[in-house]
Amino acid sequence: MAEVDELSKPMFAGLSDVSISGDIPVEGEINVPVGTPSHDDEYSTLDEPVKDTILRDLKAVGKKFVHVMYPKKSSALLRDWDLWGPLLLCVTLALMLQGGSVDSKEDGGPQFAEVFVIIWFGSVIITLNSKLLGGTISFFQSLCVLGYCIMPLTVAMVVCRLVLLGGSGMVSFIVRLIVVTASFSWSTFASTAFLADCQPSNRKALVVYPVFLFYFVIGWMILTFSPSA
């Protein structure tokens, strides 16, 4: 019976006699916020109007274009990367290169796909090469930088199209050669300026060389372009 009485007692029956002396200080404090959350805490991009979202993205793209026109060692393109600008430049360049006289029997349609493949596949190869050499830049950050730095070559394509309206003689070729060379140098310099700090110091030449070839191929396509009759 003693064992039964012992088991029937509550498990924590003895704790009711324990009391905390008022002389023992209690450290710490508990504060319960009574104010309502502010508007900034509740605001998110999901609540903003579509117009504001579009304008904000356009401003971000425009700032990146400015950084490419005035290249310097900066993390502006790396910190807030996006692919809207590269996509816009790629489409613009592909449309302007379409309809050349390489094959006058065709309407130039496949050239659009060729430019797309060259730009994006080349960017992916350069990015993988950078990662294999120990670069700290992420995949999409590299695509962003390489894509935005096509801007000088896209401008060169516009200038070459305007020059070709006046004829395709020797003077026209010299002018186009100067414009394409300057744009090619600008694109290469801009991309290396943004990517310089993301590569090992003893392997920068191995990273710059594929970038040089990438922009050289695009520049050669622009220089050799001639509109179909």
Q: Would you state the pLDDT for residue 41?
A: 47
Q: Domain coordinates of the chain in residue numbers? A: 80-98+109-224
Dihedral (CA of 58, 63, 68, 69) sign = positive
The phi and psi torsions of 192 (rounded to 5 degrees) equal: -70, -30
Instruction: Kindly tell me if the per-residue pLDDT of 39 is higher than 50.
Output: no
**What integer is the mean pLDDT of 217-223?**
91
**What integer is the mean pLDDT of 160-174?**
87
Question: Lowest-pLDDT range, 28-37, 82-91, 115-124?
Answer: 28-37
pLDDT tens-digit series, residues 47-70: 677 777 788 778 877 777 877 877
Interatomic CA distance for residues 135 and 160, integer angstroms: 36
> Token pair for residue 63?
């700032």
Instruction: Kindly tell me if the per-residue pLDDT of 7 is higher than 60.
Output: no
CB proximity list for 13: less than 8 A, separation 6 or greater: none
